[in-house]
Amino acid sequence: MTYLFTGLFTLLIGYFIYFNGFLSSEVVNNPYNSRQDTFADRIIRGEIRSSDGEVLAETKTAEDGTEIRNYPYGNVFAHGVGYSTRGRTGIESLANFYLLTSNASFGEQITKEIREEKNIGDNVITTLNARLQQTAYEALGSRRGAVVVLEVETGRILAMVSKPDFDPNRINEDWDALNDEENSEKALYNRAFQGLYPPGSTFKMVTLLDYMRENPDYVNFHFQCGGQLTEGNYTISCYGKKVHGEENLQKAFAKSCNTAFSSIGLSLDEDTLKENCESLLFNRDLPLDLPYSKSSFSLKSGSTPAERMMTAIGQGETLVSPVHMAMLTSSIANDGIFMKPYVLERVESYTGDTVKVFHPAVSGRLMTLEEAGILEEYMKAVVTEGTGSRLADLGFPVAGKTGTAEYSSDKNKSHGWFTGYSVTGESDIAVTVIVEEAGSGSEYAVPIARAVFQTWGTLNEH
Amino acid sequence: MTNLIIELSKFAFIILIAIYTLLSFSVLKKKNQGEIRYGWKMQNLLLFFIHLLAYVVMYLQKEEIKLLIFYLFQLFLLQAVLVMTQVVYPKVNRLLLNNMCFFLAIGFIMLTRLSFDRAVRQFQIAAAALVLAMFIPFLIRRCTFLEKLTWLYGMAGLLLLTAVVVFGKSSYGAKLSLKIGSLALQPSEFVKVSFVFFAAARLAKSTAFRDVVLTTLTAAAHVAVLVLSKDLGGALLFFVTYLIMLYVASKKPLYFIGGLGAGCVAAYTGYQLFSHVRVRVMAWSDPFRFIDKEGYQITQSLFAIGTGSWFGMGLYQGTPNKIPVVEEDFIFSAIAEEFGGIFAICLILICVSSFMMFVNIAMQIKNDFYKYTALGLGTIYGFQVFLTIGGAVKFIPSTGITLPLVSSGGSSMVVTIAMFAIVQGMYLLKEDEDLRIEKERKQNAKARTGKARRSRKTKAEERS
């Protein structure tokens, strides 16, 4: 009896210690914890820095004691770093607790307490690389869209750009305009994480994977492309009315042949396709710390041939976020293993002592090693002989897939996609680009990816 | 300067309570009467310092004179209880007495900080209850008929609980209180005592199968009525208490295992049947997903505990009022936030030491009725502490139960003080008994040596 209760209480105290020691820092850091606000009365908010040492956010105290949060890069990191004066978003929200906790020396803290001065909060070093971010930001230019760059092996988020953007330094002045219902820009919206787009031909990676799983003899696939395919009263044509002729599976993929893939779509089992999509995290929660939108896949058994054909080439009802696309791509690059993307690298006291280090974490396996290998081979072919040929002369091999997603009945309006990765074996990166209302992916998205790969190449030379 | 005092006071509180906790366990092992007395005195001194320091820290920040006046009232009450109890009952169990005052003081401090008006009300009720409780050990010694009132306890308890279901006013999804004039009573608190008395009296009388069935049915009726009024924490508390009393009285593990099995089935049915049970379990299993609604309370509690971390924020430095019903079900989180995790762990340990003392006393009593009563009350106390703290730290789903003597709540306060006094009364009975046995032994021994001497004498006389 006494033992029973002693056991219960021991467990209780044990759990309490475990909570305070291990779980609490994450709990406390929850943006809903309004207790964090009271910290600001005693602590000067720390800096947010890029992995290459650039200051992305800092607090400057004027002589009269008023504090101003300054973002030296202005619009470039707007969505990633976020803001902290009108509510909190981005890293400002994610790392709020760390920024408002001081790990300065005990003596210094006590001295400042006595003098009734504020202590200096810890600095947060992110995984974002200022050079890559700047490159992606400039390459996207005045277009709407998003770029996500992940480090394949670790899941570190190296860059995330979303446009239209805003200047976090002017968030208070611009607040009303940014939130104006009639403003179609929705600049506060982080398209890289929260934007949902039809995947277009990038979805052929998924269709291909499902086809291989359903047909072990996929190597024997061959198809005669006549430029269009009609089933019932629905016709799908290849992009630019091209006729690809005799094709095997790899060529159909590299040339992004709509006709071949919609015929594959007709042969697939809808339930298996849905299952495979869900195993690739469509309709699922993603392990992300920043707000994101769930990708959706809704094809089910009993759908019309037209729906099946469209779904197979990434039109249909399917929607995907750029960050999800980047995660899929980097899993292919990482032998099928899917790393949890993260943006906080470490926390340091303002004097540079390490407080906390964040480590890469495996989130699971999306496909087998063999499947990843075959996809890589096919995606390399996209660059060497297909729609991604603008990436062929970078000096290192790249694998990828382009996409052109029609989003309205006007066939001339489309979003351009590219998603791919470097294949050098050393700190490779996955790059996903979406350019809204532009045109084909190979024409508009690939050059942006190219600029990012180039910058990465020069960074790696040193 | 105030900032510095607040900072330093945090560490002072932790050191003081740590020594107090240590004494709660170490004094019991001491043999030397002088050392033991010194240990108990020391505990009172530590309590005095914690109490004083807390009010100094609060006054420095609020600069309200009413805080100091309130402090003096409390100081007087606590000192009066400590002194008077020892004068009237010299053999009183000091650990229970000290711990009761300790919890009261911590409760007064925390409630003052959370809501001054509630603290004053709490103080008034506690003062009245403490005065009445002075008579309880005396009454227990006198009223030898207590164990004969078996069915009276059972019927009174059931009647009271049923009254709540019929006339009760509901709060937070459960019907708990009964309004009589301006007083809101929580009958289930009072039924805790009558329930334990009922079970103890019945089990002391007989543990024959037929009787056990009858007793169990009545106990089950209590639990069922509590479930009907949706007081599931209370139902669980009564259930576990009865199970343990039954096991100790009958010494049949089969009853215990069977009871546990029935409990599991009942819990599952309850889960399927009541939406508010599912809500609590859901809020427990993944509070952050339902952070805006069902999980709000528990996440606020976790924020409080986590933000407080090991050393706490300091009095008035946290925001415990963000937790809904913080004064009652979640006072532990408020304490953990402002006094820190180490302080909170010490507080749990002091609760454990009180519970162990209850059980200890129960095991030493020879009279079955008193034994089972002490055990039952001890179990109620211990399990209640476990439920409320476990709920606050998300170790188990929250059950909406108060931390005895610390949480705000008049009925709970009165009943817990009474429970402590009843166990004190039984402890004193046992001391009387020990004394009588001791005396008898001495007399017997004297008689024996007298007889021996006498017989030697006669033999000598015979020889001469």
| pLDDT-based confidence at residue B295 (cuts at 50, 70, 90) | confident
| pLDDT-based confidence at residue B431 (cuts at 50, 70, 90) | confident
* Cβ contacts of B229 within 8 Å, gap of 6 or more: B161, B164, B165, B168, B174, B175, B176, B188
The answer, yes or no, to whether residue A319 has pLDDT greater than 80, is yes
The answer, yes or no, to whether residue A407 has pLDDT greater than 70, is yes
Report how far residue A135's alpha carbon sits from residue A130's, in angstroms, rounded to the nearest whole number: 8
* Cβ contacts of B182 within 8 Å, gap of 6 or more: none
Contacts of A6 in chain B (CB under 8 A): 352, 356
8 Å CB contact of A38 and B317: yes
CA distance to partner chain B, nearest, from residue A318 (Å): 26
* Predicted local distance difference test score (pLDDT) of residue B176: 67
**Nearest neighbour of A35 by CB, restricted to B307, B345, B352:** B307
* Predicted local distance difference test score (pLDDT) of residue A359: 94
Residues of A with CB under 8 A from a CB of B: 1-2, 5-6, 8-9, 11-13, 15-17, 19-20, 23-25, 27-28, 30, 32-36, 38, 110, 113-114, 116
The answer, yes or no, to whether residue A118 has pLDDT greater than 80, is yes
Q: What is the mean pLDDT of residues A5-9?
A: 86
How does pLDDT run across B225-251, given as a tens digit for each residue?
Answer: 888 887 888 888 999 999 999 888 888
The answer, yes or no, to whether residue B71 has pLDDT greater than 90, is yes
Match 């049947």 to its residue by tokens: B273
* Ordered DSSP codes for B193-236: HHHHHHHHHHHHH--SHHHHHHHHHHHHHHHHHHHHTT-HHHHH
Question: Are the CB atoms for A181 and A459 separated by under 8 Å?
Answer: no
| pLDDT-based confidence at residue A378 (cuts at 50, 70, 90) | very high
Candidates A13, A22, A38: best to mutate against B (most CBs of B within 10 A) is A13
Q: Following CA atoms A403, A406, A412, A417 in sequence, which dihedral angle do they give, to the nearest 10 degrees?
A: -30
- Chain A contact for B250 (CB, 8 A cutoff): no
The answer, yes or no, to whether residue B334 has pLDDT greater than 80, is yes
Distances (CA, A) of A262 to A218, A249, A306, B232: 16, 13, 9, 58
CA distance to partner chain A, nearest, from residue B244 (Å): 7
How does pLDDT run across A416-456, given as a tens digit for each residue?
Answer: 999 999 999 889 999 999 999 888 877 899 999 999 999 99
- Chain A contact for B78 (CB, 8 A cutoff): no
Question: Are the CB atoms for A76 and A137 separated by under 8 Å?
Answer: yes
Contacts of A38 in chain B (CB under 8 A): 317-319
How many whole angstroms from its chain centre is CA A9?
Answer: 45
| pLDDT-based confidence at residue B152 (cuts at 50, 70, 90) | confident
The answer, yes or no, to whether residue B121 has pLDDT greater than 80, is yes
Percent helix, strand and coil across chain A, each to the nearest 5? 40, 20, 35
* Predicted local distance difference test score (pLDDT) of residue B460: 59
Secondary structure of residue A43 in the 3-state scheme:
strand
* More confident: A275 or B282: A275
**Nearest neighbour of B318 by CB, restricted to A19, A27, A35:** A35
- Asked which of A277-281, B289-293, B357-361 is least confident by mean pLDDT, the reply is B289-293
- Asked which of B43-47, B234-238, B279-283, B407-411 is least confident by mean pLDDT, the reply is B279-283
| pLDDT-based confidence at residue A363 (cuts at 50, 70, 90) | very high
Q: Say how many Å lie between the first and final Cα of chain A, rounded.
A: 68
8 Å CB contact of B306 and A25: yes
8 Å CB contact of B319 and A34: yes
Q: Following CA atoms A62, A64, A67, A71 in sequence, which dihedral angle do they give, to the nearest 10 degrees?
A: -20
**Nearest neighbour of B341 by CB, restricted to A9, A16, A113:** A16
Q: What is the mean pLDDT of residues B369-389?
A: 92
Question: Are the CB atoms for B358 and B378 separated by under 8 Å?
Answer: yes
| pLDDT-based confidence at residue B463 (cuts at 50, 70, 90) | low
The answer, yes or no, to whether residue B462 has pLDDT greater than 60, is no
Beta pairing, strands A234-237 & A228-231: antiparallel
A407 CB-contact burial (10 Å; exposed 0-12 / middle 13-18 / buried 19+): middle
CA distance to partner chain B, nearest, from residue A125 (Å): 22
Contacts of B352 in chain A (CB under 8 A): 5-6, 9
Residue of A nearest to B2 (CA): A114
| Candidate CATH numbers 3.40.50.920, 1.10.1660.10, 3.40.710.10, 3.20.20.100; the one for domain A200-342+361-461 | 3.40.710.10
Share of chain B above pLDDT 90, in %: 38
Report how far residue B215's alpha carbon sits from residue B209's, in angstroms, rounded to the nearest whole number: 10
Report how far residue B401's alpha carbon sits from residue B416's, in angstroms, rounded to the nearest whole number: 13
* Ordered DSSP codes for A155-204: -BEEEEEEES---GGGHHHHHHHHT-TT-TT-TTS-HHHH--B--GGGGH
CA distance to partner chain A, nearest, from residue B436 (Å): 29
Give me B376's structure tokens. Answer: 């039952």
Candidates B290, B395, B399: best to mutate against A (most CBs of A within 10 A) is B395
The answer, yes or no, to whether residue B92 has pLDDT greater than 70, is yes
| pLDDT-based confidence at residue B175 (cuts at 50, 70, 90) | low
* Predicted local distance difference test score (pLDDT) of residue A130: 95
* Predicted local distance difference test score (pLDDT) of residue B317: 84
| pLDDT-based confidence at residue A4 (cuts at 50, 70, 90) | confident
* Cβ contacts of B270 within 8 Å, gap of 6 or more: B227, B232, B277
**Nearest neighbour of A33 by CB, restricted to B3, B303, B394:** B303
CA distance to partner chain A, nearest, from residue B12 (Å): 16
8 Å CB contact of A27 and B303: yes
Contacts of A98 in chain B (CB under 8 A): none
CA distance to partner chain B, nearest, from residue A98 (Å): 12
How does pLDDT run across A206-230, given as a tens digit for each residue?
Answer: 999 999 999 998 989 989 998 888 8
Distances (CA, A) of A190 to A32, A155, A186, B41, B412: 20, 19, 9, 64, 52
pLDDT averaged over every residue in chain B: 86
Candidates B25, B305, B381: best to mutate against A (most CBs of A within 10 A) is B305
- Crossing angle of the two packed helices B296-308 and B341-364, in degrees rounded to 10: 100
8 Å CB contact of A12 and B348: yes
Sequence-separated contacts (24+) of B212-219 with Cβ below 8 Å: B212/B246, B212/B250, B212/B255, B215/B246, B216/B242, B216/B246, B218/B154, B218/B158, B219/B195
Match 């619009």 to its residue by tokens: A75
C-alpha triplet B148, B150, B156: angle, nearest 5°: 125
Beta bridge partners of B169: B177
Report how far residue B118's alpha carbon sits from residue A107's, in angstroms, rounded to the nearest whole number: 39
Report how far residue A391's alpha carbon sits from residue A452's, in angstroms, rounded to the nearest whole number: 11
The answer, yes or no, to whether residue A462 has pLDDT greater than 80, is no
Question: Are the CB atoms for A321 and A295 separated by under 8 Å?
Answer: yes
Report how far residue A119's alpha carbon sits from residue A101's, in angstroms, rounded to the nearest whole number: 9
* Cβ contacts of B122 within 8 Å, gap of 6 or more: B107, B108, B111, B408, B410, B413
Give me A114's structure tokens. Answer: 């006595």
Question: Are the CB atoms for B391 and B401 separated by under 8 Å?
Answer: yes
| pLDDT-based confidence at residue B353 (cuts at 50, 70, 90) | very high
Where are the domains positioned within chain A?
200-342+361-461
The answer, yes or no, to whether residue A200 has pLDDT greater than 70, is yes
Q: Say how many Å lie between the first and final Cα of chain B, rounded.
A: 94
Beta pairing, strands A123-126 & A43-44: unpaired
Give me A332's structure tokens. Answer: 């292919």
- Asked which of A125-134, B51-60, B206-215 is least confident by mean pLDDT, the reply is B206-215
Candidates A6, A11, A12: best to mutate against B (most CBs of B within 10 A) is A12
Task: State whether the Cα torsion A25-A29-A30-A35 is positive or negative.
Answer: positive
Q: Cis ω on the peptide bond leading into residue A164 (within 30° of 0)?
A: yes
| pLDDT-based confidence at residue A193 (cuts at 50, 70, 90) | very high
Report how far residue B350's alpha carbon sits from residue B100's, in angstroms, rounded to the nearest whole number: 10
Secondary structure of residue A103 in the 3-state scheme:
coil
* Predicted local distance difference test score (pLDDT) of residue B386: 93
pLDDT averaged over every residue in chain A: 90
Report how far residue A95's alpha carbon sits from residue A289's, in angstroms, rounded to the nearest whole number: 10
CA distance to partner chain A, nearest, from residue B390 (Å): 6
How many whole angstroms from its chain centre is CA A40?
Answer: 31
Phi and psi at B55, nearest 5°, equal -70, -30
8 Å CB contact of B307 and A33: yes
Q: What is the mean pLDDT of residues B343-354?
A: 94
CA distance to partner chain A, nearest, from residue B47 (Å): 23
**Nearest neighbour of A113 by CB, restricted to B7, B291, B305:** B7
| pLDDT-based confidence at residue B375 (cuts at 50, 70, 90) | very high
